[in-house]
Amino acid sequence: MRPEPPRDADTVAEVGEFGLIRRVTSGRPQPATTLLGPGDDAALVAAPDGRVVASTDVLVEGVHFRLDWSTPEQVGRKAAAANLADVAAMGAVPTALLVGFALPRDTPTELVDGLSGGLWKEASRAGAGVVGGDMVSCPTLVISVTALGDLRGLAPVTRSGAAPGDVLAVCGRLGWAAAGLAVLGRGFRSPVAIVGAQQAPEPPYAAGPQAAEAGASAMLDVSDGLLADVGHIAEASGVAIDVRTDLLPVHQRLIDVGSALGANPRHWVLTGGEDHALAATFPEPADVPENWVTIGTVRRGSGVTVDGRPYEADGGWEHWR
């Protein structure tokens, strides 16, 4: 699935573990929260709040990404974004990433350069640093990322705080990554904006702390599909949530791609994952911050409905299903 490397390219086996570590860490700027970065037995990250938000995700080649569909830099950005969005979804500001690379011995060093460059770029976009990690030999390319964050004195926004009478709102793109996956699966590489959403998502990191400050009662990032993920809030909070399609934003670009592929763009919006938008509940409509869109309501009961009815198709992605 991956492109053939140039014949004269160095491999990770030739450069060696410590040479590779120096290659991906040297000369990289760090934010003020990084008190001690790569190079010691462990990093030291400031935690002014006294509490640390932490999240981990693992990306496996062939399952979460394909190197014939994405550049190494895009894969690195995607790996960082998946974790940084989880931190933002707790209402925290991202501070640091810890990264583990498991690499086949014939992996070209330029591929690792691209992966690490994407990780550093996305971390910087969120205001975080890459402070450490590990590298090991493995038959399959695997990237494991742990993200840390600071709550800045706010209470964490969990999945269990939604209550009847709350409203449901979202911030960020929905359905774009799913549409991009459909386009790539048909062998196309455009529209570039749609395909790019699958290759390297752009979560609204600042929207998490913004929602926490506005009094969000529950929140998560949409990684597996809107209905599936909102279902986690409903279950954890012991409530029912109804999503209204007349309020759901469906971008014209999704409509155009859906028309070209014979697909329903609203289905992408309702069930597509990997955009890492944020979904949250708020006690009152007036509490919903600017740039968020209200799309539903919280009621007594259980489960998730669409326009008052169960959704007939799968609500999103789940491993091993």
Q: Taking 80 as the threshold, does the pLDDT of residue 315 lie above it?
A: no
Residue ranges of the annotated binding site for Mg(2+) are: 41, 55-57, 86, 134, 221, 224
Q: State percent of the chain over pLDDT 70.
A: 95
Residue positions in the annotated binding site? Answer: 41, 55-57, 64, 86, 133-134, 159, 221, 223-224, 274, 317
pLDDT at 99: 97
Give me 141's structure tokens: 């390319």
Q: What is the pLDDT of residues 105-126, one digit of tens each?
A: 999 999 999 999 999 999 999 9
The pLDDT value recorded for residue 185 is: 95
Residue 245 has pLDDT above 90, yes or no: yes
Are the beta carbons of 76 and 118 closer than 8 angstroms? yes
Torsion 191-194-198-202 (CA) sign? positive
Residue 255 lies in a domain: yes
Q: What is the pLDDT of residues 23-75, one digit of tens each?
A: 888 778 899 999 999 989 999 999 999 999 999 999 999 999 999 999 999 99
For residue 292, what pLDDT is reported?
98
Helix or strand run (H / E) with residue 144: strand 142-150
Would you state the structure tokens that stand for residue 268, as one six-digit string?
A: 């992408």
What percent of the chain is predicted at pLDDT more than 90?
Answer: 87
pLDDT in tens, 68-99: 999 999 999 999 999 999 999 999 999 999 99
- 241 and 278 in a single domain? The answer is yes
> Number of folded domains in the chain?
2
Residues of each annotated binding site for ATP: 133-134, 159, 223
Q: What is the pLDDT of residue 313?
A: 72
Does some domain include residue 80?
yes
The residue with tokens 């699958």 is 198
pLDDT in tens, 278-289: 999 999 999 999
Average pLDDT across the chain, whole number? 93
Asked whether residue 144 falls in the same domain as residue 172, the answer is no
DSSP state of 286: G
Q: Where are the alpha helices (DSSP H) in 158-285?
A: 176-185, 192-199, 207-213, 226-237, 252-261, 265-271
pLDDT at 16: 79
pLDDT tens for 214-243 read 999 999 999 999 999 999 999 999 999 999
Range of the domain at 202: 167-306
CB count within 10 Å of CB 122 equals 30
**Domain termination residue (choose one: 109, 124, 150):** 150
Binding residue positions for substrate = 64, 274, 317
- This prediction has a pTM of 0.91
Same domain as 194, residue 236:
yes
Where among 116, 150, 184 does a domain terminate?
A: 150
Would 311 be classed as within a structural domain? no
CATH of the domain at 242: 3.90.650.10
**What's the CATH number where 64 sits?**
3.30.1330.10
Does residue 217 contact residue 161 with C-beta atoms inside 8 Å?
yes
